[in-house]
A and B are shown apart, each in its own frame.
Chain A
Amino acid sequence: MLKKIKVEDAVGKKLAHDITEIRPGEFKGAAFRTGHTVCNEDICHLQKLGKNHLYLIDLAEDEVHENQAASILASNLAGDGITWEDDPKEGKIGLHADLDGLLVVDTAALAAFNMVDEVMCASLHSHTLVKKGELVAATRAIPLVMKRSPVERAAAIASQSGGVFSVKALRKAKAGLVITGSEVYHGLIEDKFAPKLIAKISDLGSEVSGVVFAPDDDALIVEAIRTHLDNGCDLLLVSGGMSVDPDDVTRKAIRMAGADEVHYGAAALPGAMFLVAYIDGVPLLGVPACGLYHRITVLDLVLPRILAGKKIGKKELAFIGHGGLCKDCPECSYPHCPFGKGI
């Protein structure tokens, strides 16, 4: 229960909640923290913050304070790889990455959580690459005092699959590259693909164990793929030959190499002719030629997920469609843009 008192009568009373101060462009934060005992000197400051009255709180048995509620919510929202401090600021608790990796959000559970009255949680998009310590989500109870039952219900929803948020470490893959194309193989043009792919793989903490060049010949492409597998590669990237020309035999070769699962076509531009296959459980990514031109393609959306241990199939490649259209900005700001931020 809340009791309203005049600020002049609050001397000696403890504040029931943080009082926020905003100085435009300069500061936003708690001017006074919960539990602070109001003294004479504070009155003027409080009045300058627009506080002519304050609340005193007398919690009923079935009520919780916003700070306590925030703690309950945070503890249930946080899954593996998430850390948080039980020190609510202005009623909010931030959830932080406890390691470098891929943020995974149970978006259904998050939506269900936010459908509960009087609680909220906002987060970064699922599948965002995050660094240790980075803020990935924040939660709060909206009223100063709320009933215990909706907090408990929201907590149950949040914990349905071990927390709404988790950060998955990226495995350190041993990647094998196959660069296809007779024009490169025969030296008619210089290969530009391998350096780009090597950089992307290295940036994610994996290593490239070897690059094999192959002409547009299915048997030789198969041989190149098998060579990498025989060398113990646990990730394969095959570039080029993914299109519809008669010389494009890479897809056929991937099947011939033993792929037991092949998903061709992704709902992303650039990257429509992207391919994901699995050979004895080893993921193989078929990178179309758009990867040569565009800085960011569907590969940048899928590769981190593969390294985080996610299985990519038809559904995942289809769901990329919402937000899967790159705006091809003159100055690319990815990942701070909508590309790949759909479901």
Chain B
Amino acid sequence: MKSFAELLNESAAAHGHLCPGQVVGVRMAMLGCRLIGLNDPTRRDQIKKLLVYVEMDRCTADAVAYVTGVKLGRRSLKFMDYGIMAASFVNLESGKAYRVISTEEARSLAGVYAPEMEGKSAQQLAAYIRMPDSVLFRVQKVKVNVEACDLPGPTRSKVTCTRCGQVVRDCREVVENQQILCKPCTQNCYFSHAKEVAWPDMNWTPSPVKHISKKDYTQRAHNLLHIH
């Protein structure tokens, strides 16, 4: 794993700014990975062993994701909307799992650890770098039951909503009155009043990619889209 300073710089650049939450997130990820025995989680042989459950959608979550390399699209990053500054790190190979919680005391102690810094944010940032893990975090050893349909890898199930015809993947359907429904067709949906519309420039496509053989399509697509 890279040094804390390197990880913090890179994470802050990826996130868009350096802030106390970034410091906490980078350290939380470093500690979590250490506890589950992964010393370089973004390395190819380790990345598939790792699941991370973040419990907040704050700066810290981005830092945790950056350092560990977990991603929503890889299904290695799980967002649990608890509003708690915590993340659980699961080693799928060993089954080891630890929940790392950012302490509230650390906020109160920022002034003691960085008394020379002016301003709350600068003081917290400096203090969170100086504090030992024992002050910054509490740790719980936890059991995480990872359902098969939550694991990374190919889609495990596809069903069709009996009301709207939408295909639902990975067991996210809901059964109501013995009817299979997608979540938008239930009452438990984040949007309402959905109405299909037309929009301007409906026929836009990206720059045409012509004469591309099937063989090197994937590589070209990666190059074009700067996917690494």
A interface residues with partner B (beta carbon < 8 Å): 107-108, 111-112, 115-116, 153, 156-157, 160, 315, 318-319, 343
Contact = CB atoms under 8 A, between A and B. Distances in A.
Given A157-B132, A319-B115, A343-B115, A112 B109 contact: yes
- The 3 closest A-B CB pairs, nearest first, are A115-B105, A156-B134, A112-B135
B109 A111 contact: yes
Interface in B101-136: 103, 105, 108-109, 112-113, 115-116, 130-132, 134-135
B134 A108 contact: no
A156 B103 CA distance: 15
A111 B105 CA distance: 10
B98 to A, nearest CB: 13
25 contacts: A107-B112, A108-B112, A111-B109, A112-B105, A112-B109, A112-B131, A112-B134, A112-B135, A115-B103, A115-B105, A115-B109, A115-B135, A153-B134, A156-B132, A156-B134, A157-B132, A157-B134, A157-B135, A160-B132, A160-B134, A160-B135, A318-B116, A319-B115, A319-B116, A343-B115
- Greatest chain B CB density within 10 A among A107, A108, A115, A343 is at A108
Contacts of B115: 319, 343
A157 B109 CA distance: 13
A115 B113 contact: no
B108 A115 contact: yes
A248 B64 CA distance: 58
B34 interface: no
Contacts of B138: 153
A108 B116 contact: no
Contacts of A315: 116
Interface of B: 103, 105, 108-109, 112-113, 115-116, 130-132, 134-135, 138
B106 to A, nearest CB: 8
A172 B40 CA distance: 51
Contacts of A115: 103, 105, 108-109, 135
Contacts of B108: 115
Given A108-B109, A112-B109, 13 more contacts: A107-B112, A108-B112, A112-B131, A112-B134, A115-B103, A115-B105, A115-B108, A115-B109, A153-B134, A153-B138, A156-B134, A160-B135, A319-B115
Nearest to A149: B138
Nearest to B113: A108
Contacts of A156: 132, 134
B112 to A, nearest CB: 5
A343 B134 CA distance: 23
A64 B95 CA distance: 29
Nearest to B105: A115
A108 to B, nearest CB: 5
A184 B163 CA distance: 103
Contacts of A116: 105
Contacts of B131: 112
A319 B132 CA distance: 23
Contacts of A319: 115-116
A107 B116 CA distance: 14
Nearest to B131: A112
A153 B139 CA distance: 10
A304 B108 CA distance: 31
Contacts of B112: 107-108, 111-112
A153 B103 CA distance: 12
Contacts of B130: 108
B135 to A, nearest CB: 4
A107 B114 CA distance: 11
A112 B112 CA distance: 9
A317 to B, nearest CB: 12
Contacts of A318: 116
- Greatest chain A CB density within 10 A among B105, B131, B135 is at B135
A318 B116 CA distance: 9
A249 to B, nearest CB: 32
A55 to B, nearest CB: 29
- Greatest chain B CB density within 10 A among A107, A112, A115, A116 is at A112
A277 to B, nearest CB: 21
B191 to A, nearest CB: 43
B27 to A, nearest CB: 14
A315 B114 CA distance: 12
A343 B112 CA distance: 9
A105 to B, nearest CB: 12
Contacts of B132: 156-157, 160
A106 to B, nearest CB: 10
A321 B11 CA distance: 38
A148 to B, nearest CB: 13
A108 B134 CA distance: 13
